[in-house]
Amino acid sequence: MELPPKVNICECWARDGIQGEDHFVPTEKKIAMINRMAEIGFKRIEVTSFAHPKLVTQFADSIEVLKGISRHKDVTYIAIVPNDKALDRLLDACNQGYGVQEITAIISASEDHLLANLEKTFAEVMPPLASLVRRARAAGLSVIGCIGTSFGCPLAGEVPIEKVYELTEWYLEQGATSIMPGDTTGEANPLQVSQFYARMKARFPKVDFISHFHDTRGMGLANTFAALQQGIVYHDCSLGSIGGQPATKRPKYHKGFSGNTCTEDMVVMMNEMGIQTGLNDEDVIQTALLAEKMLGKEANGHVTRSGIVRHRSREVLNGNSLYTGMEIFPGILLLTPETIKENPSLKLPELAIRKALEKNGPLPEKLTFDLDKVNVHGSLNERVILVTRFKVAAVLNHGEKAVFEVLSQKSDGQVYMDGVLTIAFGKN
Amino acid sequence: MELPPKVNICECWARDGIQGEDHFVPTEKKIAMINRMAEIGFKRIEVTSFAHPKLVTQFADSIEVLKGISRHKDVTYIAIVPNDKALDRLLDACNQGYGVQEITAIISASEDHLLANLEKTFAEVMPPLASLVRRARAAGLSVIGCIGTSFGCPLAGEVPIEKVYELTEWYLEQGATSIMPGDTTGEANPLQVSQFYARMKARFPKVDFISHFHDTRGMGLANTFAALQQGIVYHDCSLGSIGGQPATKRPKYHKGFSGNTCTEDMVVMMNEMGIQTGLNDEDVIQTALLAEKMLGKEANGHVTRSGIVRHRSREVLNGNSLYTGMEIFPGILLLTPETIKENPSLKLPELAIRKALEKNGPLPEKLTFDLDKVNVHGSLNERVILVTRFKVAAVLNHGEKAVFEVLSQKSDGQVYMDGVLTIAFGKN
């Protein structure tokens, strides 16, 4: 199986994500989150929408967001631009130095969906949209041609791929720089995705397609995997898999979760498969947890609860990679009368701690333990099995020291050791 | 892409699912759920565990469950049998006519995991387990050879596939009838699954492998899809993706969700892909919702919230396939001055209702509407776009009639029609 060695991920939380939130996310929070995304390595970020502020109030602050965010040289900032007036506003921002490099133009492959969303038919939507794409290109912007409901429409039913071909060709004629077949309300399944992209890639071999799935039916990762197998390198996602139909007064035509594929789960899956994402698992998980805090609710991510597969992160244990609340890989130690006999210098509890920590990767040479606040309960039997777990309580002096809650249990649940352990890693 | 045309799904809720619950699930609920599973078409059901009742109290009623369930001829009932004493109890039940046809024998591919779970090494575990498999086979039972932590272990780290080969060979020598490489704490990723099963199938081409993933990191469906691509036909899952390390006093070595791949999402994904599961989406969703009710909490399934992709269910709309609370596919209607002119007999609101219902499949000829309790608000403009939604309020006379809450909105959110609609389908 051949997967792309490297992908380019677009984080959509600040637009496709929060558009479904009933409450306005304060501008400073949006800015903080976008900055954070850029800092941890996202190279593509969907930052806002220029939808009419009265229609989608969540983005009434689009200009403030664009003004407020720090600009990272190698990051592409992306905004949704639904119509000519919106493009005017954006180009004005661009001219004043706080624009974006790329916009998303949106149409649906289903006319019913256009009618429900825009109150317009194909014949009414296409001419002004063509002009919008051309104007944006003339102004030096890249343009994503988004084709909503490419995998099915909750209003129209099946959408023929021929319609997606037609709209792709049309977008390319107007100068669109990439094509995003949107799985707007999560109708896609992985077999369909596989067949869809095989056909799209055969027909448009040079086009950059952006894989954009919604996790409505839990298939976001499976669909992403299917798209990867077809060589797709651009992938959209949203922290916590939040999102959905914009919170407007328009009639709802879907139900359930309807956010994008979950960023944190997707990044971990890709990293696990050895695909270069340019992102660190723990950074992404921390950012996802911060996003949950911002919105005041637990989101739909899994790795935020389970943690990564720690033994596949091959880092040497060091204070810089730890954070408060982090649970590190537990370790197990089996001591038999033989091992004890063979190693008269075995020093418990340090040995249990060291053996457990080693499961997380090689230990630095300078490591020193402060066991003063670690309590040992009772004596060990002849044969003992210890499972030792650690939770980071604090990271001190820029990672030179870390404080852990430690709990070591025998296999029957009896506590052998608990308390607080301090480890000094030395200067980095 | 070639996927198996037909799969054989094992529902694990009654064992692998509820083993992680802190509270005892009453025996009558277990029985009701197992019966329900058999009624809706599951052909393989993991019904209980013969783990020591003091260790895993959830299964202290294993005999009562086996005595209580109805027996369906074509259903294979499966129980976990951890040791010889447990097998004695099961064979006793078999002799008295309330046994199972198949058992699961369990070992881990990681010795650390064995130590943590069973307090035993390979050398200590294998001889009695071999004897157990042989005894069960001699008694006419099928035996699943489960190899836990086949995709990685939270205690030991990577697990070499050679160890899984070795244990597979060993199981087959003892007479095991199928092999289940367990993804015990959700370490598997789809690329790994793909490579794993390619190698396993090459080495053991005639063996029936059971794909058994945990959704700990959200990859359950992606892994299942990868397994399907390798031709795997046996798949395990649990309603609501519940499950996890058995609730015992033993030290925890995982965190987060850790249930099996979610049954309702998996079945819908397979049905969507045209794979024969022998299961109806709506039946499975209703059963999943019942399971949530039994445990008093919302589970991790998606299709329970979003519904299926309705336009892919090709059934004629009929009262028998409806249930209270069901939301059916919304419909959109565009009326322009032209369409109104061309069709002077257009009768709203019936037209809006009919157009919407037709999106759910062909309508039966006899359909009659009772619109007495449907309210129409205001008049229509020259051009109107109506999105009409339905929720089943009641199903009467065994499906001859159904009562719907109906809501028809213009695209600006204004309500055009609401109230209660009764449809008579006539005798089936």
* Shortest Cα–Cα distance, A57 to chain B (Å): 15
Average pLDDT score over residue span A36-63: 95
Quickly state the pLDDT bin for B426 (edges 50, 70, 90): confident
Interface test with A, best of B150, B189, B381 (most A CBs within 10 A): B189
Q: Please tell me if residue A194 touches chain B, with a CB cutoff of 8 Å.
A: yes
Instruction: For residue A124, list its beta bridge partners.
Output: none
* Shortest Cα–Cα distance, A278 to chain B (Å): 19
- Please tell me the CATH code under which domain A314-424 is placed: 3.10.129.10
Q: Please tell me if residue A69 touches chain B, with a CB cutoff of 8 Å.
A: no
Within 13 Å, how many C-alpha atoms sit on residue A198's CB side? 9
Tell me, what's the pLDDT at B192? 98
Query: b/e per residue, B91-123, with b = 16+ CB within 10 A?
Result: bebbeeebbbebbbbbbbbbbbbbbbbbbbebe
Interface of A with B in 354-373 (CB under 8 A): 359
Q: How far apart are CA B103 and CA A163, in angstroms?
A: 52
Average pLDDT score over residue span B200-223: 97
Q: Please tell me if residue A230 touches chain B, with a CB cutoff of 8 Å.
A: no
Q: Which of A351-355, B109-113, B123-127, B404-408 has the lowest mean pLDDT?
A: A351-355
Decide if B28 contacts B63 (C-beta within 8 A): no
Quickly state the pLDDT bin for A85 (edges 50, 70, 90): very high
Instruction: For residue A385, list its beta bridge partners.
Output: A334
Domain span(s) for CATH 3.10.129.10 in chain B: 315-424
Residues of chain A with Cβ-Cβ distance to B331 below 8 Å are: 155
Decide if A358 contacts A331 (C-beta within 8 A): yes
* Shortest Cα–Cα distance, B245 to chain A (Å): 13
Summarize pLDDT for A256-278 with one digit per residue, the tens: 667 999 999 999 999 999 999 99
Better-predicted residue by pLDDT, A243 or B183: B183
Q: Please tell me if residue A282 touches chain B, with a CB cutoff of 8 Å.
A: no
- Please tell me the CATH code under which domain B8-308 is placed: 3.20.20.70
Q: Give the chain B residue nearest A407 (alpha carbons).
A: B251
Q: How far apart are CA B405 and CA B325, in angstroms?
A: 10
Q: How far apart are CA A299 and CA A318, in angstroms?
A: 29
| Contact across the interface for B248 and A334, Cβ inside 8 Å | no
On the question of pLDDT at A381 being above 70, the answer is: no
Residues of chain B with Cβ-Cβ distance to A152 below 8 Å are: 309, 311-312
* Shortest Cα–Cα distance, A7 to chain B (Å): 15
Work out how many CB contacts closer than 8 A connect A with B: 225
Q: What is the mean pLDDT of chain A?
A: 91
Tell me, what's the pLDDT at B311? 76
Q: Please tell me if residue B250 touches chain A, with a CB cutoff of 8 Å.
A: yes
Q: How far apart are CA B313 and CA A52, in angstroms?
A: 37
Domain span(s) for CATH 3.10.129.10 in chain A: 314-424
Residues of chain A with Cβ-Cβ distance to B327 below 8 Å are: 255
Tell me, what's the pLDDT at A412? 81
* Shortest Cα–Cα distance, B185 to chain A (Å): 9
CA angle at residue B194 from B193 to B199, to 5 degrees? 95
Tell me, what's the pLDDT at A138? 98
Average pLDDT score over residue span B256-260: 78
Residue B175's H or E segment, with its range, is none
Summarize pLDDT for B271-323 with one digit per residue, the tens: 999 999 999 998 999 999 999 999 999 999 999 988 888 777 656 778 888 88
Quickly state the pLDDT bin for B51 (edges 50, 70, 90): very high
Of B3, B305, B331, nearest to A255 by CB-CB distance is B305
Quote the percentage of chain B above a pLDDT of 70: 96
Tell me, what's the pLDDT at A427? 67
Average pLDDT score over residue span B230-255: 84
Sign of the Cα pseudo-torsion (B9, B11, B15, B16, in order): positive
Interface test with B, best of A191, A237, A312 (most B CBs within 10 A): A191
On the question of pLDDT at B1 being above 70, the answer is: yes
Average pLDDT score over residue span A101-120: 92
On the question of pLDDT at A75 being above 70, the answer is: yes
Average pLDDT score over residue span A16-27: 93
Sign of the Cα pseudo-torsion (B65, B68, B69, B71, in order): positive
Summarize pLDDT for B366-377 with one digit per residue, the tens: 888 999 999 999
Rounded to 5 degrees, φ, ψ at A254 are -145, 175
Q: Please tell me if residue B224 touches chain A, with a CB cutoff of 8 Å.
A: yes
According to CATH, the superfamily of the domain at B315-424 is Hotdog Thioesterase (3.10.129.10)
Q: Scanning the structure block, which residue is given the tokens 């637990």?
A: A298
Rounded to 5 degrees, φ, ψ at B309 are -80, 95
Q: Please tell me if residue A329 touches chain B, with a CB cutoff of 8 Å.
A: yes
Q: Give the chain A residue nearest B302 (alpha carbons).
A: A217
Interface of A with B in 4-43 (CB under 8 A): none
Q: Please tell me if residue B199 touches chain A, with a CB cutoff of 8 Å.
A: no
Q: Please tell me if residue B391 touches chain A, with a CB cutoff of 8 Å.
A: no
Instruction: For residue B409, list its beta bridge partners.
Output: B387, B415
Q: Please tell me if residue A314 touches chain B, with a CB cutoff of 8 Å.
A: no
Quickly state the pLDDT bin for B428 (edges 50, 70, 90): low
Q: How far apart are CA B410 and CA A344, in angstroms?
A: 82
Q: Please tell me if residue B412 touches chain A, with a CB cutoff of 8 Å.
A: yes
Reduce the DSSP state of residue A71 to 3 states and report it: coil
Q: What is the mean pLDDT of chain B?
A: 91
| Contact across the interface for A250 and B412, Cβ inside 8 Å | yes
Tell me, what's the pLDDT at B257? 67
Q: Please tell me if residue A334 touches chain B, with a CB cutoff of 8 Å.
A: yes
Q: In what order do the strands lie in the sheet with A327-335?
A: A327-335, A384-396, A401-410, A415-424, A368-376
Residues of chain B with Cβ-Cβ distance to A411 below 8 Å are: 115-117, 119, 250-251
Interface test with B, best of A125, A335, A385, A386 (most B CBs within 10 A): A385
Q: Scanning the structure block, which residue is given the tokens 């709209």?
A: A167
Q: Please tell me if residue B389 touches chain A, with a CB cutoff of 8 Å.
A: yes
On the question of pLDDT at A336 being above 80, the answer is: no
On the question of pLDDT at B110 being above 90, the answer is: yes
* Shortest Cα–Cα distance, B366 to chain A (Å): 24
Quickly state the pLDDT bin for A254 (edges 50, 70, 90): low
Interface of A with B in 111-170 (CB under 8 A): 112, 115-117, 119, 121, 152, 154-158
Q: How many CB atoms lie within 10 A of CB B376?
A: 16
Residue B146's H or E segment, with its range, is strand B142-148
Quickly state the pLDDT bin for A341 (edges 50, 70, 90): confident
Tell me, what's the pLDDT at B245? 72
CA B317 → CA A112, A291, B360, B366, distances in Å?
21, 43, 7, 11
Name the range with the highest mean pLDDT among A9-13, A113-117, A394-398, B308-312.
A9-13
Q: Please tell me if residue B77 touches chain A, with a CB cutoff of 8 Å.
A: no
CA angle at residue B183 from B181 to B184, to 5 degrees? 110
ipTM of the complex: 0.92
Q: State which amino acid sits at residue A413.
A: G
Name the range with the highest mean pLDDT among A410-419, B155-164, B228-237, B414-423.
B228-237
